[in-house]
Structure 1
Amino acid sequence: MVKYLIVGPSWVGDMVMAQSLFMTIKQQEPDAIIDVIGPNWSVPILARMPEVRNAIVLPTSHGEWGIKTRLTIGKRLRDESYSKAIVIPRSWKSALVPFFANIPHRIGFKGEQRYVLLNERRKLDKNILNQTVKRFVSLGVNNQEAYPPNILPQPKLAIDKANQIELYKKHSLSQRPAIALMPGAEFGPSKQWPIPHFHELAKKLIEKGHQVWILGGPKDQQDGNEIIKDLGEYAVNLCGKTQLVDAIDLLEAAEVAISNDSGLMHVAAAVGTRVHGIYGSTSELFTPPLTDNKVIHNLHLECSPCFKRECPLGHTNCQYKIKPSSIYESLLN
């Protein structure tokens, strides 16, 4: 029996896509034990992945070295006697815990001179491993099969129906068919479809007989309020009022999720909801929602994808020129 410690990524969408790696390992080695170490926010989402035994919190902030903390955790994990470690991030510090835990086989991509920390350093050919999920899965398969992986399992998060029912009661949600809108763009404003566009689309959807939920974190509350302004009882701003685990259950209950290229878009894909993904500064070729039940909206302008946090040209036409009417019409088809 092989026992894995996997150092997970730092973003919600990436952690969802990492489930494809966990699924790959379990398909190859059904008796494998998988523990994942990641940020505190990742614990509830990892709990919805049946492949993962334990979620281990790494209590460091984004960008923090935290060598003493990593040493303490690594020493604590020595008693687990892990057989293998897979380090998904490419940073030097991310490989410290498996090293300190004395895990004999430590796998990761080449980068940041991790010669001692990793004893199997794999080449990252970005032309061949041209999607995030391919990079993750390739770390879990044999070298001969890693470029690219032959099979990419689609993430599938478990649902808590009791929590879903409770959320309907707690937030006084209607029984109308629900459509979830996710306006957040943690990476930067270049990934954000305009808030007035979200408002116009929400209005059309409510007039058509739907209820609209705005999902996101506390940072998205103001945007959520602007989207639902004057739209009545069937427009509900849930930004900052739900936990990530609640968003999983609510998205499964929605008929459709309309989202920027964001973590919640990947959550929606992983619960089987039909996803309309809006792309401009990023590309669906690199980070697509991992589902067959999707529609992609991308104008493919000459200036995109730029992968910048803010539009270098100052206009964000790749987002602005995707009109609410075009997305609304695609929902009807």
Structure 2
Amino acid sequence: MGSKIPDIGAVPVLPRFGMNPDRWRDGLLIRTPNWLGDAVMTLPAMLQLRKLVPNDCGLFVLCPPGLKDFFESLPIVDVTVPLHSAHSAWSRADRQSVRNLTAGACLMFNNSLRDTIYLRLAYLPMIFGSSRRMRSLLLTKAWQLQHVKRGALNKMHHAARYLAMAYALGAPEWDGTMPAFAPFCEVETMAPSLTAALKLGANLMAIAPGAAYGEAKRWPSEYFNAAARLWIERGGTIAILGAKSEMAVAESVMKDLPQNAAFNLCGKTNMKELIMLLEKAKICIANDSGTMHLAAATGTPGVAIFGSTDPSSTSPLSVNWKILYERQNCSPCFRRECQLDNDKYRCLRVISPEMVMESANEVLRRFSS
């Protein structure tokens, strides 16, 4: 039987900072990354930190407003404090909300100098994080972590970075378990198309054709469409997921698919509904995106398609996912758009719909065995 721990590479060993029980005050505050995918990759570290913090203390989260519902879906988080904006100065209410937590320490999983300053102004006794952005003097303990290198496979997963900081505070070693999501049952408020898709969940494929970062992370829409057809031909159903801004991509994937077997849910799900749908799906096909990471975190198996980014640093945190990555001379470039004049997006186009469906079948066989 294979390992239950996803391959995230070696976790760096950082200088330890011993936390005595009386230093926690009312708990630990975590300043999360701003993107959903990055936030999901903090979950192994957050789960281990929950085990580290004393039982009478809380695990608090400070996050951008768009991630509020995600963190509120996690029972391991006691209080979620959404900032009024992820990319601007804190409001007076933001500062007061942080003060009211009376946390003894904050662990920063982002690299913001601005946030570090505001955390100091909120009277956090101890603040920990990476030494980037010239903020070492403001941190109680600043750790040096390897920077991501453009054009190279970095061999260190983002989750390993977050775990390294958690371990440095004394958290126990991760065993591959992901935290559970709270159950969601408000069926009466759902869109009719979502309700219909959920009723067919036994053979439902979730498709996430978007990627907020840019086109260089998106497998062609016509390829997703072809893969969807192959799934429908074997009796399956399709749910296309994404944000409202990705509607054009979703409509392209939906083109000429049978209406009784394909549901365009792009922009029609809130975070809790998205989590529930992913939990009920049989499999997920996705680009390197927040939805990919979320699907893997729910326990649903899947196939991840990588183009301009680095699968060694942002692969899904699940042993039940297969990564398709055809590295080119220029990859990983981390560009939003392809810079080649000829044969644009070759890294994505060489991955055929047949390859994806073959991988999906392989994953399902392995998952069911």
For normalisation by structure 2, the TM-score amounts to: 0.82
Match among 79, 84, 98 for residue 119 of structure 2:
98
Question: Secondary structure at 2:314's aligned position in 1?
Answer: coil
Q: Which amino acid aligns with 2:359?
A: S
Is residue 177–residue 210 contact of structure 1 (8 Å, CA) maintained in 2?
Answer: yes
Q: Which amino acid aligns with 1:92?
A: L
The residue that corresponds to 1:88 in the other structure is 109
**2:316 paired with 1:292:** no
Give the Å deviation of 1:122: 1.0
Question: Secondary structure at 1:322's aligned position in 2?
Answer: coil
Give the Å deviation of 1:167: 4.6
Distance 1:26 1:93, change over 3 A: same
Q: Which has the higher contact order (CA 8 A, sep 6+)?
A: 2
Distance 1:164 1:281, change over 3 A: farther
In 2, Cα distance between equivalents of 1:41 and 1:179? 26
Q: Which amino acid aligns with 2:351?
A: I
Is residue 178–residue 210 contact of structure 1 (8 Å, CA) maintained in 2?
Answer: yes
Distance 1:165 1:260, change over 3 A: farther
Q: Which amino acid aligns with 1:80?
A: L
Q: How big is each residue's C-alpha offset from its partner over 1:237-294, in whole Å with a ceiling of 9 and x where there is no partner?
A: 1001111221111001100000000000011011100021001211210011001111
In 2, Cα distance between equivalents of 1:309 and 1:114? 28
Q: How big is each residue's C-alpha offset from its partner over 1:42-77, in whole Å with a ceiling of 9 and x where there is no partner?
A: 11110122221111010114x33x15x1x5422443
Is residue 49–residue 156 contact of structure 1 (8 Å, CA) maintained in 2?
Answer: yes
Q: How big is each residue's C-alpha offset from its partner over 1:10-32, in whole Å with a ceiling of 9 and x where there is no partner?
A: 00011111122211112233524
**2:276 paired with 1:249:** yes
Question: Secondary structure at 1:231's aligned position in 2?
Answer: coil
Q: Please show how residues 95-244 of structure 1 align to structure 2 within 5 Å.
A: 95-126=116-147, 130-142=156-168, 151=174, 153-163=176-186, 167=190, 171=194, 172-173=196-197, 174-175=199-200, 177-232=203-258, 233-244=260-271
Give the Å deviation of 1:151: 3.2
For normalisation by structure 1, the TM-score amounts to: 0.90
Q: Gapped runs of 5+ residues in structure 1?
A: none
Give the Å deviation of 1:201: 0.8
Question: Secondary structure at 2:328's aligned position in 1?
Answer: coil
Q: How big is each residue's C-alpha offset from its partner over 1:161-193, in whole Å with a ceiling of 9 and x where there is no partner?
A: 524697585532252510001011101110000
The residue that corresponds to 1:307 in the other structure is 334
Is residue 159–residue 249 contact of structure 1 (8 Å, CA) maintained in 2?
Answer: no
Give the Å deviation of 1:207: 1.0
**2:61 paired with 1:36:** yes
Give the Å deviation of 1:160: 2.4
Give the Å deviation of 1:89: 1.0
Question: Secondary structure at 1:125's aligned position in 2?
Answer: coil
The residue that corresponds to 1:46 in the other structure is 71
In 2, Cα distance between equivalents of 1:165 and 1:201? 32
In 2, Cα distance between equivalents of 1:310 and 1:131? 23
Q: Which amino acid aligns with 1:259?
A: A
Give the Å deviation of 1:140: 1.8
The residue that corresponds to 2:17 in the other structure is none
The residue that corresponds to 2:49 in the other structure is 25
Give the Å deviation of 1:157: 3.9
Q: Which amino acid aligns with 1:99?
A: R
In 2, Cα distance between equivalents of 1:165 and 1:51? 27
Distance 1:99 1:302, change over 3 A: same
Q: Tell me the matched-pair count.
A: 326
Comparing 191-200 with 87-96, greater Cα deviation is found at: 87-96
In 1, Cα distance between equivalents of 2:139 and 2:229? 53
Is residue 76–residue 179 contact of structure 2 (8 Å, CA) maintained in 1?
Answer: no
Q: Please show how residues 277-288 of structure 1 align to structure 2 within 5 Å.
A: 277-288=304-315
Q: Which amino acid aligns with 1:271?
A: T
In 2, Cα distance between equivalents of 1:286 and 1:133? 8
In 2, Cα distance between equivalents of 1:48 and 1:300? 36
Root-mean-square deviation (CA, aligned residues, Å) is 2.3
In 2, Cα distance between equivalents of 1:112 and 1:242? 36
The residue that corresponds to 2:37 in the other structure is 13
Question: Secondary structure at 2:166's aligned position in 1?
Answer: coil
Q: Which amino acid aligns with 2:220?
A: P
Is residue 18–residue 136 contact of structure 1 (8 Å, CA) maintained in 2?
Answer: yes
Question: Secondary structure at 2:223's aligned position in 1?
Answer: helix
Q: Which amino acid aligns with 1:15?
A: A
Give the Å deviation of 1:117: 2.8
In 2, Cα distance between equivalents of 1:164 and 1:294? 29
The residue that corresponds to 1:328 in the other structure is 357
Question: Secondary structure at 1:297's aligned position in 2?
Answer: strand
Is residue 167–residue 173 contact of structure 2 (8 Å, CA) maintained in 1?
Answer: no
Question: Secondary structure at 1:285's aligned position in 2?
Answer: helix
In 2, Cα distance between equivalents of 1:237 and 1:292? 28
In 1, Cα distance between equivalents of 2:230 and 2:175? 37
The residue that corresponds to 2:16 in the other structure is none
